[in-house]
A = this chain, B = another copy of it.
Amino acid sequence: MKKTNPSFLNGVPELLVLRLLARREMYGYQIVEEIRTQTGEALSFGEGCIYPYLHYLEAEKQVSSQRREVEGRNRNYYKLTARGRKRLEALTSEWKRVTTGVSLLMEEQYA
């Protein structure tokens, strides 16, 4: 996975993953579910999207993982690193910039 110059609109999964992990540590499957529920079903990214992101984020040292057995299940728990927190801040302000930009164009009066 290469994230060179992710343009405006993609990379939202990355933003949401980081944002969730900023609250508490979580495992992949749980992240998939929470993105769906906590966005009010507005967004839903499959495991085929989220797992590769987690691996990428770990390789980038934005998250760290720990395998743990909980409730008879093997889970990979991820938590944010300091670096990940910075990345989250950057992506957040980028997201705001973009949505603000869209609003500017959208909300202008009809001629």
Residues of A at the B interface (CB closer than 8 Å) are: 8-10, 12, 15-16, 19-20, 22-24, 34-35, 38-43, 92, 95, 97-102, 104-106, 108, 110-111
Q: Which of the residues B9, B40, B99 comes within 8 Å of A104, measured between beta carbons?
A: B40
Kindly state the separation between the CA atoms of A16 and B102 in the bound complex, as whole angstroms. 8
Q: How many copies does the complex hold?
A: 2
A111 touches B42 (CB 8 A): no
Given A105-B20, A108-B23, check contact A42 B12 (CB 8 Å): no
The secondary structure that dominates the A interface is helix
Instruction: Find chain B residues with CB under 8 A from A100 CB.
Output: 40, 42
In the assembled complex, the CB of A3 is this many whole angstroms from the nearest CB of chain B, namely 15
Instruction: Find chain B residues with CB under 8 A from A95 CB.
Output: 102, 106
Kindly state the separation between the CA atoms of A110 and B43 in the bound complex, as whole angstroms. 20
Q: Which of the residues B19, B23, B105, B108 comes within 8 Å of A35, measured between beta carbons?
A: B105
30 example contacts (A-B, Cβ-Cβ < 8 A) are as follows: A8-B12, A9-B9, A9-B12, A12-B102, A15-B102, A15-B106, A16-B105, A16-B106, A19-B106, A20-B105, A22-B110, A23-B108, A23-B110, A23-B111, A34-B105, A35-B105, A38-B104, A38-B105, A39-B101, A39-B102, A39-B104, A40-B100, A40-B104, A41-B101, A42-B97, A42-B98, A42-B104, A43-B105, A95-B102, A99-B99
